[in-house]
Amino acid sequence: MNNRILSLTVAMVLALSTFATNVVTDRTWYLVGETMKVSVTDNDATIAYAELCDTHGLAAGVVIGLKGNEGTGIIELPSDLHSGYYVLSVYTRHNAKISQQLVAVINPLRKSADDDIEWVEIRPTPNPSPRDGSSDSSYAENIAGNTNQSPLPWGGAESRPWFGVRETEGHIIKANIKNVYDGKTFKASQICPSLSIVGKQIHYFEGQMVNDSTAVFYTFGVHGKQPLVLSAMSSNGVSLPIEMISPFAALLPKQLPHLVFHYNRSEVEARSLDMQRHQISKKEEAVVPLDYDETVFGTKPDLTYNLDEYRQFLTIREVLLEYVSCVKQTKIDDVPRLIVRKEQDVYDSTLPTLVLIDGMPVFDVERLLNYDARRVHYINIYAGQYTFGNTVYNGILSFVTRSGRLTNYPTERNMQYLVYEFPS
């Protein structure tokens, strides 16, 4: 690290919690590219959100699952953050605030117009001690005034009171829907939003419309990093654009205090080198699809077809014609659909069948029928009626590919595919 880099600004953590909930970070200040470990203890929540933001917006965040009233989350600090103070907010998914504190971050690789920290080098003797009692030899101070004042200096300390209501099991995801499409406006009652986990198991959730453009999904039984697809289908078969809303929604600070960083030169140099090595060696974690499971809610399919046991055809259309019984192509409200039935029953076209491929709902039937059948391993038919949210389905028709990753079957128009980390 040369003198030019050493002339950049720095930061640290000054705890400003005004709530009994305990929030602890693993360091007193951070370099960009490092990870921030946030430990939370709370008696009235099962899920907490930790977010880091400045006056411009959200910088990074993590969802923390609490077990036995405790939980720990890791925030990866992006490499493009400016040097200076940020606000760390920890709160429940109902936006009830738990704790706020200042966190200082230094970017040793580049300067920014938003940098607002001064360097003050610590001389070899004597070394001042951090004011928060931590072991870090470098520390920062707020020169704008008393840091323990109430309300918090960036405003809004009392804006989100703690409600004291324990959360229910599961995890909430919100999404925004563009309800005006092709010149037509759709009301909440005309929109069916859905969230599905991509993989060899079925995890399908229909959302509740809280207004004409916002959907809420109550998920359960899903943990860790998983690929998912969001979709919104109108009552007349139009696929509407949908996009997940960040769960992090803390009140942005109006201003942040100016900092002076008292640094130890050797410590900053060593941590900067470690951070750069970490950035070079870090690789994206592979997302492994859920293993195949033929059961839905503990029920095996009424009919199952392992395509390895049949002559290979080129398309799903040929497979359905030659091998698969109890599946029929029809139209419901002038929209092409596939429907299923029990072997002894007649087809009921008044209710739709939920059609899935690797867990993702299928709206374009023709596209599915023309899909390469050699990529499909199982076709499962679940007869009977299933309720997801406000929709009743007459059976489930599930196609499971060999990879469980929607191989050569990208999401349909206006759907959103993303990898999301569910709290463990």
3 state SS for 183-240? CEECCHHHEEEEEEECCCCCCEEECEECCCCEEEEEECCCCEEEEEEEEEEECCCCEC
Which CATH number goes with the domain that contains 8? 2.60.40.1930
Q: Is 417 within the bounds of a domain?
A: no
CA–CA distance from 353 to each of 292, 366, 394 (Å)? 21, 15, 5
CA–CA separation, 237 and 239 (whole Å): 6
Given a cut of 70, whether residue 71 has pLDDT beyond it is yes
Q: What percent of the chain stands above pLDDT 90?
A: 47
Same domain, 49 and 154: yes
- Local structure of 421: helix, strand or coil: strand
Same domain, 34 and 101: yes
Q: Is 79 within the bounds of a domain?
A: yes
Same domain, 377 and 340: yes
What integer pLDDT is reported at residue 148 of this predicted model? 34
Q: Is 290 within the bounds of a domain?
A: no
What integer pLDDT is reported at residue 399 of this predicted model? 97
Same domain, 29 and 120: yes
Given a cut of 80, whether residue 157 has pLDDT beyond it is no
Same domain, 213 and 95: no
Q: What are phi and psi of 275, to 5 degrees?
A: -60, -45
pLDDT interval class at 424 (50, 70, 90)? low
pLDDT interval class at 125 (50, 70, 90)? low
- Local structure of 31: helix, strand or coil: strand
User: Structural domain tally of the chain?
Assistant: 3
